[in-house]
Amino acid sequence: MRAEQIVDLIACASPQAQVPGNDLLIGMLAREIAALSYKLTEQELYRLIAVGSLVYERGRRSRI
């Protein structure tokens, strides 16, 4: 799947869907990365973790 298709799928989420808090969202992401981790190279794994870190930091800063 291309990145553009993934963005389109992410962006079409229902406006009525409940948005979890940042801690829950990071936990969800971590579980998904963990489930895929055996298929990933170390570099791929750390890139996903880096994206998760950015999401976490953005959520943390929005609370300040």
| pLDDT tens digits, 25-45 | 999 999 999 999 999 999 999
Write down the pLDDT at residue 10: 86
Note whether 55 and 29 are within 8 A (CB). yes
| Residue 34 counted as domain residue | yes
Is 44 within the bounds of a domain? yes
**Buried-state track 23-35, b at ≥16 Cβ within 10 A, e below 16:** eeebeebeeebee
Domain count, the chain: 1
pTM flag (> 0.75)? yes
- Structural domain that includes position 33: 19-63
- The chain-wide mean pLDDT, for the chain, equals 91
